[in-house]
Amino acid sequence: MHTEVVRILAVEDNPLQVRKLRMLLSELGYALVGVAPSAPEALALFEQHAPDVVLLDIQLDGDADGVDLALQLNERRPVPLIFVTSLQDRTTFERARAAGPFAFLSKPYDKLLLERSIELAVQHFAQGKAPAEGSGGSPEPADALLPDSLFLRENSRLVKVPYDKILWAEADGSYCHLHTAPRKHTARLTLKDLEEKLPAGRFVRTHRSYLVQAACIESLDLGEGQVWVGGQGVPVGRAYRDELLRRLNLVG
């Protein structure tokens, strides 16, 4: 079944570390979109693949090291950065801290720390939170919010759900079921909390327990009290009918 997993770009010039990283990311269920040994190659892959997370080795050959590269990436678009290094000196840490990473890991790669760092970086970035205390940097929430997706926890990984794939959401107690074109996702949050995280104006309440993407509405049956979305009927409550009709571009 198709899902969109977190996509990671790695900047690493040590072949042994690259093999270890490939193995760990595969075991953790993340998608490694590319590995770059230098800053110029990393910038090219960054533009080509638009990764969700970048793992950066600080020590790189060439004119630009990992910190220099991080600053260049930040100029292109906000993205959660995780620095990885075998260096332990304070000077290196302070330089890296200025780039605003969401985590700072030591080599060799540790599976559990790598998993938790990626998970927290994506979660905090998607929620518009600043990097963890001690990592430095303080991106504004408006810059940090991912422009087109939510990230939902599914078991031990975070799954990317683009806004334009969401057809409707259904409340189920303290959970929400997000129905998308390929599948259904379940998230532990209320429908009200979900509505606050979605782009303003794109989704409309049709019922106390249902939220629909307006652009995906195919038809409205006033007699049955339903809208049809993705071939499925979603209820329209009496309290929400007038607002729904007001927002539709009615003709005739």
Give CA–CA dist 45/10, Å, rounded: 10
The number of CA neighbours under 13 Å toward the Cβ of 171 is 16
Q: Are residues 48 and 169 in the same domain?
A: no
Task: Verify that 8 and 118 share a domain, yes or no.
Answer: yes
Boundary residue ending a domain (110, 144, 178): 144
Tell me, rounded to whole angstroms, the distance of Cα 228 from its chain centroid. 28
Q: Two tokens at 3?
A: 């899902």
Same domain, 52 and 131: yes
Query: 14 with 86, same domain?
Result: yes
Same domain for 123 and 194?
A: no
Q: Are residues 237 and 182 in the same domain?
A: yes
CB proximity list for 34: less than 8 A, separation 6 or greater: 9, 10, 45, 48, 49, 51
pLDDT at position 123, please? 77
- Is the domain of 139 the same as that of 79? yes
Q: Is 238 helix (H, G, I), strand (E, B) or coil?
A: helix
Q: How many domains does the chain have?
A: 2
Are 243 and 174 in the same domain? yes
- Return per-residue pLDDT of the chain as tens, 252 residues: 344 678 999 999 889 999 999 999 999 989 999 999 999 999 999 999 989 999 999 888 888 888 889 989 988 888 899 998 876 667 777 777 778 888 888 888 888 889 888 988 887 777 665 554 433 333 333 333 456 777 777 766 778 888 888 999 999 988 899 999 878 888 888 888 888 888 777 889 999 999 999 889 999 998 889 999 988 999 999 888 888 888 777 765
Residues 47 and 140 in one domain: yes
DSSP-based three-state secondary structure for 170: strand
Domain of 94, CATH number, reads 3.40.50.2300
- Phi and psi angles of residue 202, each rounded to the nearest 5 degrees, phi first: -90, -25
State the pTM of this model.
0.55
For residues 210 and 233, is the Cβ–Cβ distance under 8 A?
no
Structure tokens at 41: 């190659």
Whether residue 168 sits in one domain with residue 138: no
Tell me: do 9 and 85 sit in the same domain: yes
Same domain (yes/no): 118, 208? no
Q: b or e along 43-74 (b: 16 or more beta carbons within 10 Å of the residue's beta carbon)?
A: bebbeeeebbbbbbbbebeeebbbbbbbeebb
Which residue range forms the structural domain that includes residue 222?
A: 163-247
pLDDT tens for each residue of 115-151: 888 988 887 777 665 554 433 333 333 333 456 777 7
In this structure, is residue 150 part of a structural domain? no
For the chain, helix, strand, coil in percent to 5 are 35, 30, 35
> Of 144, 171, 204, which residue sits at a domain end?
144
* pLDDT value for 23: 93
pLDDT score of 171:
93
